[in-house]
Amino acid sequence: MASSLNSSNSLYDFVVRDGNGVKGLVDSGLSEVPERYIQPPQERINKLDSKQCDVPPIDLSKLKGPEHDKVVAEIVRAAETVGFFQVVNHGVPVELLESVKDAAHSFFSLPPDKKAVYCKGVSPNPIIKYGTSFAPEKEKVLEWKDYISMGYSSDEDALQYWPNQCKEAALEYLKLSSKIVRNITEILISKLGVEVDDSKIEGLVGVKKVNMNYYPACPNPELTVGVGRHSDMGTITVLLQDGVGGLYVKVEEENDSGKGEWLEIPPIPGALVINVGDTLQILSNGKYKSAEHRVRTTSSQSRVSVPVFTMPTATERIGPFAEVVKKDGLARYREVVWQDYMNNFFGNAHAGKKSLDFARINSA
């Protein structure tokens, strides 16, 4: 099979259009990475070029005790600097996290035709999508990743339409993660000196989806990326890593020049990763940083990760809070309709934090 995929078009059809994904490519007996997956040198991830993040995880259970203010300060500091932090004692049972990872492996071990029923255009529900890479029709180089994306509309729809292999564990994980998101969102907004009601919070985090990402073992990991440089478009993301590792986050320089140092976020058993999305950076007028991140592949074993994305509702208008603009003296972002921002995000290949340019007001 692998020998018949030499041309770029036949490989694209096999992986993308026919729904075989990267896993199908690997299972066909692949011994080296096809050219379509070889990243230019500047996009490759050299483990030696980065250091491990040694910041301890934040204990969310302490928000209910005498150390409340200290924990709030830790959350705010992380959001203002890196935009990424790990949390423990977060309210999601460790047993459920293990079940979620097992469920992801169960789904991706299905035969290709069983996964392909969730491909765009044939999926039983348009907010459930099985796919590969990020925007393969836009990308010059493909990412070494398959995924199933499950949008949430109601418990009933999730249990009816999400894949049987993962629906129950994924639904419970999404619901408990959503509580973490709401709590952290309320903390970060209040620390901006802004008061919002419940309906506004719901408008900012009311759209939810859970993705299961699968990164097959790669014969030449030094040439590929699992996910290219990007920031998440939404408000806050909750991420479950497995023990394999490979997540890197960029610590920006103060002048927002796009330069910075890459940190590897090591897996911590029982912890969840929290990252700030573009929406919060816009709302805070740049005070909070959406985290630019990427994922390395590995030759030794396949990796899964499971993010819960929370986003504004489609018609929500997103712009810097008036109280923050007044304090800063100027708005760094214009107000945009969330649907327009989302269309722009998905209409382009990953390119660092370029997605923010859609809302950015240039000072020149």
Residue 234, pLDDT score: 93
**CA-CA distances (angstroms) from residue 160 to 124, 153, 154, 157, 171?**
10, 11, 10, 5, 12
Alpha helices in 162-230 (DSSP H): 167-190, 198-205
User: What is the number of alpha carbons within 13 Å of residue 146 lying toward its C-beta?
Assistant: 29
DSSP state of 219: S
315 phi/psi in degrees, rounded to 5 = -90, 0
Residue 254, pLDDT score: 62
Residue 103, pLDDT score: 97
CB 219 within 8 A of CB 30: yes
Residue type, 208: K
CB 93 within 8 A of CB 305: no
- Report how far apart the first and last C-alpha atoms of the chain are (Å, whole number): 54
Residue 349, pLDDT score: 64
DSSP state of 106: H
Element spanning 322, H or E: helix 322-328
Cβ burial of 12 (10 Å; 0-12, 13-18, 19+) is middle
Contacts of 28 (CB under 8 A, 6+ apart): 1, 2, 5
- Can you point out the beta strands (E) in 216-329? 227-230, 236-241, 247-252, 260-264, 272-276, 293-295, 303-311, 317-318
Residue 169, pLDDT score: 97
Residue 5, pLDDT score: 58
In angstroms, rounded to a whole number, what is the distance separating the alpha carbons of residues 134 and 142?
8
How many CB atoms sit inside 10 A of residue 132's CB? 22
**CA-CA distances (angstroms) from residue 106 to 30, 109, 232?**
22, 5, 26
DSSP state of 192: T
Residue in the structure block whose two tokens are 């255009």: 121
What are the 10-residue block averages of pLDDT along the chain, 364 residues in total? 58 85 89 89 80 91 95 96 95 97 96 92 90 76 93 96 96 97 96 92 94 94 89 95 90 65 91 96 96 89 95 94 95 94 79 82 63
What's the whole-model pTM score? 0.92
In angstroms, rounded to a whole number, what is the distance separating the alpha carbons of residues 340 and 344?
6
CB 174 within 8 A of CB 308: yes
Q: What is the DSSP string of 18-59?
A: SS-HHHHHHHTT--S--GGG---GGGS--GGGSEE--PPPEE
